[in-house]
Amino acid sequence: MRRSALSRLHPASSYALGGSILLLAFLTKDPFSALLLAAGAIAFDGEVSGAPFAAKRLAFFAALTALGAVTNPLISHRGVTVLFYLGASPVTGEAAVYGAVSGAMLANVILWCEALFRVLPPDAALVFPGKVLPRTTLVFTMAIRFVPRLMTRMRQARAAQAAFHPEHTLKNAFLALQTGVALTLEECCEIAAGMEERGYGAAKPSRYALYRFRGRDGAAVFLTLLLTSLSLAAYCLGAYRFTCYPVLARSGHWAWYALPAFLAFLPAAAERKEKLQWRSSK
Amino acid sequence: MALLEVKDLSFSYPGGEKKALDNLSFSVEEGELCLILSPNGGGKTTLLSLLQNRGDLPGKRSGHVSFPGGAPRTALLRQDADLALVTDKVWRELAFAPENRGLPTEEIRLRVAEAAGFLGLEPLFYRDVSSLSGSEKVKTLLAAFLADRPGLFLLDEPASTLDPLAKRDLAEALNRIRREGGGTVLLAEQTCDPFFAEADRVLYLENGALLFNGSPREAARFLLTTGRGSFVPESARLAFSLGEKETLPLTDSEGKRALSALPYTVAPLPRVKCAGEALLSLRDLSFRFEKNAPDLLSGLDLTLSRGEIVAVLGKGGSGKSTLLRLLSGELSPVRGKRRLAGGAKLAYLPQDVRCLFEKETLEEEMLSVSSPEKVREALSRFDLPPLAGRHPLDLSGGERQRAALAKLSLIRPDVLLLDEPTHGLDGGAKAALAALLTRWKQEGAGILLVTHDAAFAAVTADRCALLFNGEFAALEETDLFFRELHLFTTPTARVTDGKALAPEEVKAP
């Protein structure tokens, strides 16, 4: 996980912002929103991981968009602007734009998922269920350890038993599985005894909050919710409506694009602000 | 004031002919570090379980355990620290007990911060517990216990898998816990270093009976005069063998001072050389656990020959066990090759020897491999006949290790890979193992062992290697290897300034 301004926020703030951007990336079907969101993601990648990395992400976005633009007209022949004929089938400009927008949408979702995955602490996702269902969250974190433990025990058992049962047969594999399961279950009993000794089940559990919810987290959540609500309202009112067929057409005022632009560039702007503050403090 | 009083405590497991604990009486003062020593199966684990008031321990119990000032909260750290870790992150582990007690968030935050800071756990705070080394796991657990504020710490061989430096770290942490944290510590151990000199009191158990209860210096005298020298620090053993009977040194520095005033000669141990053709060779062997991680093992070259014992030493987490897992075929190298001579039979003793057992009793386990006569001989060699009817997984740590070695001894492999073979073994069992390995070597086996036990390696190995930063920092003949080292060497070498490697080499003139 890379340290960034976003990862330093409370998970409630960082996940709200990330979730809102992803929601918009899923919903908006117009090329302008797609370009704004992609630019935000690439700018954020550039701030966190450097310009060469951002250039690679830009190339990825361009490639996926181009792939959509090339493949869709081969399948769909809708649209009125015929660019040329491939055999007897017309290749239309509208179908190419539709494919490019679809490719850009898919690229956006991937870009943002990857960018967020790189900076957000994965265990922070457990903050929310941990508050409501502390025991279930504990079982989940224990299960995370159980599966690799069982796999390791099975591999160890097979390696240790190979001197006595060298053949690679199903029977010997089953023997290793049997030993692995028996050991893991026995270990689970010991773990359970240890948990009881450490107070598990003794009282109604409380919750340790690794992350503090500070004023700036509140401000970030407020801003995110405000921008997301306004963007969704604008979306429902048709501010970002864009149609490809039969001809390319858009409606709504250009000013509405300020909302997704603000949201998409917020992570990169926060990153830049931290960098400037760091430099001025030196 | 006594924190704990034990009076006439006896205990027998169901179906057990002899008592696991036999009429024990002793008391422990508040803030003491009490070291409990005993041979394998001497009753250490049973005693700690009873002191922890485990009502579910099946068996017959008599006598009393009382806490005059009121029963304190107890924390029990078992032999395998990995099994005491419940969650996936270090910080979650520290918060586990306070959360379960339902404490307010702010108090948990304070306790977690205090415990982590006290034991210097900040660099590990956000780490996955699965990525921790053995000593880091023990330290994490101690901090997790501290956050629960227990009055009594019960530790069951916590250092058995730790390297010498990590053991010293643990001894220091325990000292801080009792001196500054106000805790009382009962520490059951097989090996005495480095806890012996730090202890306020030593209890010695044998066959469930308490044979000694007193100060470390008195304990050293008692153990040496009654032929139980393997339980005392080597400095005391050396001084005692050279005629010092009164003021026995307990630490390396005391031992150095004592030996400088005592005349002695050094007769190096005879080393039987019988190395033959190559059995196992590694060329440029490299490994890492994750694609983008640095190599854990990087470009290792080694040839193991018939009739040779090679020991690999190194700090915990340096990749020693991983090397054996690669050689056993459990893991595959990312680069390089491992070549086993054609037709050679390979056997592997993993660190967790329970992987070797498949049957309901130890006897069945052995009979599934060899004839009754050979089984009888193997059981006798490791002093196991009384345990033949027991389930292998019900044996104590040291007994289980002996049982695994006995099972391996039945198949006579050409190449033997041993991961911490002395783990949990008492002095007698270690000597038996050393003799057995030497015999196998003379019969033509090639043995590669990884160990923290420098003294064992010095006595058994022909060549030794130090694994550091993924490479063999040194790979030399044993005598040369240990004489070149100053810190990772044997206790005897430290006390004699490298003149001798084992107490057996030091003689009175």
**How many CB pairs below 8 A link A and B?**
138
B214, B242, B258 - which closes a domain: B214
Instruction: Measure the CA–CA gap between A73 and A80, rounded to whole angstroms.
Output: 12
Domain-wise residue ranges, chain A: 5-131+207-281
On whether the CB atoms of residues B168 and B195 are closer than 8 A, the answer is no
**B234-284, pLDDT tens digit by residue?**
899 999 988 888 788 998 889 999 888 888 888 888 777 777 889 999 999
- Tell me what the mean pLDDT of segment B151-178 comes to: 85
Residue B454 included in any domain? yes
Are residue B143 and residue B9 in the same domain, yes or no?
Answer: no
B176, B195, B214 - which closes a domain: B214
Are residue B6 and residue B124 in the same domain, yes or no?
Answer: no
Asked if residue B58 has pLDDT above 60, the reply is yes
Q: By residue range, what is the domain housing residue B338?
A: 278-345+413-507
Chain A residues with CB under 8 Å of B102 CB are 203-206
Question: What is the distance in angstroms between the Cα of B109 and the nearest Cα belonging to chain A?
Answer: 7
Are residue B144 and residue B155 in the same domain, yes or no?
Answer: no
pLDDT category at A227 given cuts 50, 70, 90 is very high
Instruction: Please check whether residue A275 touches B, CB under 8 A.
Output: no
Are residue B129 and residue B187 in the same domain, yes or no?
Answer: no
**B349-358, pLDDT tens digit by residue?**
988 888 888 8
Q: Do B358 and A161 touch (CB under 8 A)?
A: yes
**B283-331, pLDDT tens digit by residue?**
999 999 877 788 899 999 999 999 999 999 988 778 898 999 999 888 8
Are residue B110 and residue B35 in the same domain, yes or no?
Answer: no
Instruction: Please check whether residue A10 touches B, CB under 8 A.
Output: no
The nearest alpha carbon in chain A to B106 belongs to A208
Asked if residue B204 has pLDDT above 70, the reply is yes
Question: What is the distance in angstroms between the Cα of A128 and the nearest Cα belonging to chain B?
Answer: 15
B168, B189, B214 - which closes a domain: B214
Question: What is the distance in angstroms between the Cα of B330 and the nearest Cα belonging to chain A?
Answer: 5
- Tell me what the mean pLDDT of segment A5-28 comes to: 86
On whether the CB atoms of residues A196 and B55 are closer than 8 A, the answer is no
Chain A residues with CB under 8 Å of B95 CB are 208
Give the mean pLDDT of chain A.
85
On whether the CB atoms of residues B65 and B50 are closer than 8 A, the answer is yes
On whether the CB atoms of residues B418 and B448 are closer than 8 A, the answer is yes
- Tell me what the mean pLDDT of segment A194-200 comes to: 82
Instruction: Measure the CA–CA gap between B330 and B317, rounded to whole angstroms.
Output: 18
Are residue B137 and residue B285 in the same domain, yes or no?
Answer: no
Question: What is the distance in angstroms between the Cα of B211 and the nearest Cα belonging to chain A?
Answer: 30
**Which residues between 78 and 137 in chain B have a beta carbon less than 8 angstroms from any beta carbon of chain A?**
78, 80, 83-84, 86-89, 91-92, 95-105, 108-109, 112, 129-130
pLDDT at residue A250, as a whole number: 83
pLDDT at residue B132, as a whole number: 82
Are residue B305 and residue B326 in the same domain, yes or no?
Answer: yes
Count structural domains, chain B: 3
Are residue B168 and residue B304 in the same domain, yes or no?
Answer: no
Residue B225 included in any domain? no
A-interface mutation test, from B48, B73, B86, B325, most A Cβ less than 10 A away: B86
Are residue B109 and residue B21 in the same domain, yes or no?
Answer: no
Answering whether pTM is above 0.80, one says no
Are residue B159 and residue B118 in the same domain, yes or no?
Answer: no
CA distances (Å), A84 to each of A77, A80, A88, A261, B219, in order? Answer: 11, 12, 10, 36, 99
Are residue B433 and residue B495 in the same domain, yes or no?
Answer: yes
Q: Do A163 and B411 touch (CB under 8 A)?
A: yes
CA distances (Å), A43 to each of A119, B80, B430, in order? Answer: 14, 48, 63
Are residue B55 and residue B179 in the same domain, yes or no?
Answer: yes
Chain A residues with CB under 8 Å of B418 CB are none
Instruction: Measure the CA–CA gap between B150 and B98, rounded to whole angstroms.
Output: 11
**Which residues between 377 and 406 in chain B have a beta carbon less than 8 angstroms from any beta carbon of chain A?**
393
Q: Is the ipTM of this complex over 0.85?
A: no
Residue B443 included in any domain? yes
Give a three-class secondary structure readout of A67-111: HHHHHHHHHCCCCCCEEEEECCEEEEHHHHHHHHHHHHHHHHHHH
Instruction: Please check whether residue A189 touches B, CB under 8 A.
Output: no
